[in-house]
Amino acid sequence: MQTAEEDLRALMLSGLEGDAGAHAALLSALVPLLRSFFRRRVRDAGDNVEDFVQETLIAVHTRRATFERDRPFTPWLYAIARHRLVDHYRRHRINVSLYEIELDVLADNPEAAIRAHIDVERLLGTLTVKQARAIRDTRIDGKSVAEAAAEAGIGESDVKISVHRGLKALAARITGRKS
């Protein structure tokens, strides 16, 4: 996550200097992040995740002047994504608890959210590659077990077992560290 932040920020800074290639690379790199962000939050089947992704990419492009070069990139990105979601709900007068959205993005303290991601990544790094990937796919990126299994090229039960064993190992690590 930390390297992702640094890579994305570097691309953003080059894009702001007028480097079209870096800008295109940045937007492409954002697509999977945004897909997983919206897939986790849009429950209504009528809402198209891809529309949200595209609207966010357009906002990132047209409003890139509002990025402050000395601050981290990811909070800026997710604040825009979150705004697209809130604006959508407002437009369609759908009442959702803003709390849910706030909670996800920790909008008022995005740096803390990033730090939390970094901690999670460090912990996942202590597991086997398969377990870490299964947990990341199903518990963090919000994919279904079937999707995760298909992408990793392993069986669904294998994914479930990896998640289970991985979480158990993490639990042991964390409680062990405390004692």
What DSSP letter does each residue of the chain carry, written as one string? -HHHHHHHHHHHHHHHTT-HHHHHHHHHHHHHHHHHHHHHH---TTS-HHHHHHHHHHHHHHTGGG--TTS-HHHHHHHHHHHHHHHHHHHTT----HHHHHHHHTTT-HHHHHHHHHHHHHHHTTS-HHHHHHHIIIIIS---HHHHHHHHTS-HHHHHHHHHHHHHHHHHHHHHHH-
Closest CB 43 distance from another protein, rounded Å: 21
Give whichever of 45 and 65 is closer to another protein, judged by the CB atom.
65
Among 76, 143, 148, 166, binds another protein (CB under 8 A): 76
When asked if residue 115 is in the footprint of another protein (CB under 8 A), the reply is no
Closest CB 50 distance from another protein, rounded Å: 6
Among 2, 6, 10, 28, binds another protein (CB under 8 A): 28
Q: Which stretch binds another protein (CB under 8 A): 37-45, 58-66, 125-133, 160-168?
A: 58-66
When asked if residue 110 is in the footprint of another protein (CB under 8 A), the reply is yes
Question: Contact positions toward another protein, by CB under 8 A?
Answer: 15-21, 23-24, 27-28, 31, 50, 53-54, 57-59, 61-69, 71, 75-76, 79-80, 83, 87, 107, 110
